[in-house]
Chain A
Amino acid sequence: MMRPGSEAELAEILAGAHAPLAVRGGGTRGVALAGDVVETGGLSGVKLYEPGALTLVVGAGTPLVEVEALLAEKGQRLAFEPMDHRVLLGGEGEPTIGGVVAANVSGPRRVQVGACRDHLLGVRFVDGSGEVISNGGRVMKNVTGYDLVKLMAGSWGTLGVLSEVSLKVLAQPQAEATLVRRGVGAAEAVADLCRAMGTPYDVSGAAWLEEGAELRLRIEGLAGSVAYRAQALGAALCGGLEVVEGAESAALWREVRDVAPFAATAGAVWRISVKPTEAPGLLEALAPHKAGAMLDWSGGLVWLLATGGAQAIRAEVDKLGGHATLVRGADDATVPMFHPRPAPIARLEEGLRKRFDPKGILNPGLMEGA
């Protein structure tokens, strides 16, 4: 295993490498790859933190827990609510901020504030030739040149190894509340969740758990405002919702964020992105393979616990125009993790990989697929 202590050392390693490398942050995201491991843990530390500008610049190998603790000291946080995959995948290791960015990991609040990629202001990375590349910066509005920042978010180390990331952070809210309704089916729940997202009440979480048939809606902000919106939203959904506040509410959303209902279960776990109102129909169509389900993003994110049926799952999702990522594989290692793309798009992706990783050494094979 290689563990560069600086960006220059990382560049030297990649410039000299000729065999496949497995790029790793904390190793918690369930990607097992062949090749020598390059681990980013040595590229850690805070480069700049300006709470008044909502800006944080850190080494990519910085543990997420350190980033979150630093922000919490100033009453701030990463608003996109990155999932901790260890709950679902049972791995050891310590998630890094670079890993979060490389996998574009976003949680329930994505439906309100956007994904990790929407909070990423700048990156520094080393490409497969060992060239150090910088893009974006530390300011919120920046249209200077192409947006490689978005490209790097969710590229899973296949275009380069992140050395530094710059993020927009936001204030922690003064208060939060969750509206809960139990005993509602998926179709009814999604209708309510979508209705809630269409109100002016700034809903920051909209989920449904099959277990208990439970609908959850979250509201955050100043205390008076949360009380007002919780009441108004409850009324808009015809009342009868239980209100859970504070730490208890936060616990409900950690459960959704980390897909806790599927922890310690057997079977494959799929993360399926579709148009929200398609979710109930999709669950019905996939009933023969379904062992469990949870909906987030008002239905736009389907977490599916499945036994077999990989091809059927991807075929159903294709019909709807979304995509299905295999987050936790079952026994069949031949199923690719990422949803196959149409040929012209796969060709463009391949073209980008060839130019950023001409030796084909960065997590080869991981994101291929047409």
Chain B
Amino acid sequence: MPQPDPQVLARKPAVVAALREVLPASAVIDDPAETRAYECDALTAYRCPPLCAVLPASTEELAAVLKICHRMGVPVVPRGAGTSLAGGALPTADSVILGVARMTEVLETDYANRFIRVQTGRTNLSVSGAVGEEGFFYAPDPSSQLACAIAGNIAMNSGGAHCLKYGVTTNNLLGVTMVTMEGEVLELGGAHLDAAGLDLMGLVCGSEGQLGVVTEATLRILAKPEGARPVLIGYDSLEVAGQCVSDIIEAGVLPVAIEFMDRPCIRATDAFSGAGYPDCEALLIVEVEGSEAEIAEQLEIITGIARRHDPVELRESGSAEESARIWLGRKSAFGAMGQINDYICLDGTIPVSSLPEVLRRMGDLSRDFGLDVANVFHAGDGNMHPLILFNANQEGQLALAEGLGAEILKLCVEVGGCLTGEHGVGVEKRDLMEHQYRPADLEAQMRIKDVFDPAWLLNPAKVFPLSVSAARREGGLAPHVA
């Protein structure tokens, strides 16, 4: 991270005093013992306590905070629930952490028009919880959904296991109330569809808190399906399993999820969970939705395709218990891995057709680096989550694991994919951006920030390689346009 600005550090008392004028005392946290709670997010390898943390309770309070920080030239790092795996909410010593944790209200539910409006500190799962009794749900379902906040979901454009059918956050977001760094409150989108002019909401979603702070969101809610059922398919070849995924998609059935596990992952999760998985090279879990008859119709096509590829195992669920057992290992995969090893979870996406090649070359890299890699991922959309296993207590292993991670992500880009499918760039992949984008492409993205945040005060040290954004961060040198 860049060096903190000594002038800002020196002004800490004045900044804190100004913030206390617009917020209740309990909402401004500047005691070093307490600001430690905000020193990192879920990317715990990087830590730095902020100048202070503030927890406004309304859009108005939050706007007042931003006005002060803008006037005093203090960088601001927005924070949802702090579950980012990419360091999206990692502070610098000269920054104010602006948390939305106290803004959790449901503001409006409208079933006829199929939307819910919430304050963005609300957790992802509790949005579905608020509409569940009426038979509705909010579709994007990142695995951290119990803890993660809608604010962070919007900042990172979060996905989940079911986005093959339902899309990611940007496809389910109808409107936002956003506060700019200057403290101006904007309404982008709303309960109606599409933008009157340029799609600024589309731009804000996934901008990692660098364009504005979203305080309220209008989200699409959908009617829950009548039922869902998975099928488990095992193969003794990664290529064949990859081909099966491709064939299922091409056949025109659209499963809600196609999950893929490789042998290291199958073994670890089975030992941990007792799910009873076969010991094979690749395991697929394919889930479909609908009424009983519709599920049967879809599964007939899927199992037909699976059989043509000669599986070593094909297990259709006949009951809720059997469904739970099929999902058991998959859902405990990360826990299982965590128990036997430290790991880094990557998030690259690749074209589905490159799956066998990428898995083979990842195996080669794993051997070269002498670190095991286990794979469990959303195969339907090519979003991989390779887990690099290492021992954090052994000196040099973290750096080695990060080096392997970088090579794997470069491989994803080389085959036509990208560095991150749903976690975001943050600080974690910031310095790899030049492998995916040419200078002109990055310049185009930075121009957007120049428009929304000309002084580059909002979450400034993220997304763009520090060398690339240096001129803009150091004193608002953004080329000025009359």
Would B193 and A115 count as touching, CB distance under 8 A?
yes
**Residue among A172, A232, A349 with most chain B CB within 10 A:** A349
Would A153 and B197 count as touching, CB distance under 8 A?
no
Interface stretch (choices A29-37, A192-200, A286-294) = A192-200
Q: Tell me if B349 counts as interface (CB < 8 A to partner A).
A: yes
Q: Tell me if A132 counts as interface (CB < 8 A to partner B).
A: yes
Would B112 and A134 count as touching, CB distance under 8 A?
no
Per the bound structure, the CA–CA distance linking A170 and B271 in Å amounts to: 38
Given contacts A53-B249, A144-B420, A222-B298, contact A349 B199 (CB under 8 A): no
Per the bound structure, the CA–CA distance linking A358 and B482 in Å amounts to: 10
Contact of B199 among A135, A150, A321 (CB under 8 A): A150
Q: Tell me if A344 counts as interface (CB < 8 A to partner B).
A: yes
Contact of A228 among B207, B253, B293, B448 (CB under 8 A): B293
Per the bound structure, the CA–CA distance linking A336 and B205 in Å amounts to: 28
Contact of A53 among B111, B187, B246, B481 (CB under 8 A): B246
Q: Tell me if A352 counts as interface (CB < 8 A to partner B).
A: yes
Per the bound structure, the CA–CA distance linking A137 and B164 in Å amounts to: 17
Q: Which of B432-481 contact A (CB under 8 A)?
A: 433, 436-438, 440-445, 447-452, 463, 481
Per the bound structure, the CA–CA distance linking A232 and B292 in Å amounts to: 13
Q: Tell me if B310 counts as interface (CB < 8 A to partner A).
A: no
Smallest beta-carbon distance A255→chain B, Å: 21
Q: Collect the chain A residues with CB atoms within 8 Å of residue B247's CB.
A: 52
Q: Collect the chain B residues with CB atoms within 8 Å of residue A218's CB.
A: none
Contact of B417 among A135, A137, A149, A151 (CB under 8 A): A137
Q: Collect the chain B residues with CB atoms within 8 Å of residue A106's CB.
A: 194
Given contacts A53-B351, A144-B420, A150-B202, contact A341 B196 (CB under 8 A): yes
Q: Collect the chain B residues with CB atoms within 8 Å of residue A358's CB.
A: 481
Would B114 and A173 count as touching, CB distance under 8 A?
no
A124: nearest chain-B partner, CB-CB: B441
Smallest beta-carbon distance A1→chain B, Å: 27
Interface size on B, residues (CB 8 A): 94
Smallest beta-carbon distance A176→chain B, Å: 13
A149: nearest chain-B partner, CB-CB: B202
Would B381 and A225 count as touching, CB distance under 8 A?
no
Interface stretch (choices B16-24, B167-175, B273-281, B389-397) = B167-175
Would B291 and A141 count as touching, CB distance under 8 A?
no
Q: Collect the chain B residues with CB atoms within 8 Å of residue A141's CB.
A: 159, 163, 168, 349, 378, 381-383, 421-422
Q: Tell me if B360 counts as interface (CB < 8 A to partner A).
A: no
Would B451 and A146 count as touching, CB distance under 8 A?
no
A131: nearest chain-B partner, CB-CB: B440
Given contacts A55-B351, A141-B421, A171-B252, contact A147 B206 (CB under 8 A): yes
Q: Collect the chain B residues with CB atoms within 8 Å of residue A149's CB.
A: 202
Would A146 and B421 count as touching, CB distance under 8 A?
no
Smallest beta-carbon distance A188→chain B, Å: 13
Smallest beta-carbon distance A141→chain B, Å: 4
Would A143 and B206 count as touching, CB distance under 8 A?
yes
Q: Collect the chain B residues with CB atoms within 8 Å of residue A348's CB.
A: 186, 200, 451-452
Q: Collect the chain B residues with CB atoms within 8 Å of residue A208's CB.
A: none
A190: nearest chain-B partner, CB-CB: B112
Q: Tell me if B156 counts as interface (CB < 8 A to partner A).
A: yes
Give B246-269 as 1s and 0s: 1 = Cβ < 8 Å from A's Cβ atoms.
110111111000000000000000
Would A151 and B202 count as touching, CB distance under 8 A?
yes
Would A275 and B113 count as touching, CB distance under 8 A?
yes
Q: Tell me if A50 counts as interface (CB < 8 A to partner B).
A: yes
Q: Collect the chain A residues with CB atoms within 8 Å of residue B197's CB.
A: 338-339, 341, 345-346, 349, 367, 369
Q: Tell me if B425 counts as interface (CB < 8 A to partner A).
A: yes
Would B441 and A133 count as touching, CB distance under 8 A?
yes
Q: Collect the chain B residues with CB atoms within 8 Å of residue A369's CB.
A: 197
Would A143 and B157 count as touching, CB distance under 8 A?
yes
Q: Tell me if B402 counts as interface (CB < 8 A to partner A).
A: no
Q: Tell me if B294 counts as interface (CB < 8 A to partner A).
A: yes
A118: nearest chain-B partner, CB-CB: B171
Q: Tell me if A164 counts as interface (CB < 8 A to partner B).
A: no
Smallest beta-carbon distance A220→chain B, Å: 11
Q: Collect the chain A residues with CB atoms within 8 Å of residue B364's CB.
A: none
Would B157 and A147 count as touching, CB distance under 8 A?
yes
Contact of A225 among B167, B297, B351 (CB under 8 A): B297
List 30 A-B residue pairs with CB atoms under 8 Å apart, sorted by A's residue number: A50-B351, A52-B247, A53-B353, A55-B351, A74-B250, A114-B167, A118-B167, A133-B441, A141-B421, A143-B157, A143-B159, A143-B424, A145-B442, A145-B463, A150-B199, A154-B199, A173-B252, A197-B114, A200-B225, A222-B298, A273-B194, A277-B112, A322-B192, A323-B192, A340-B196, A348-B451, A349-B200, A351-B481, A352-B451, A355-B450
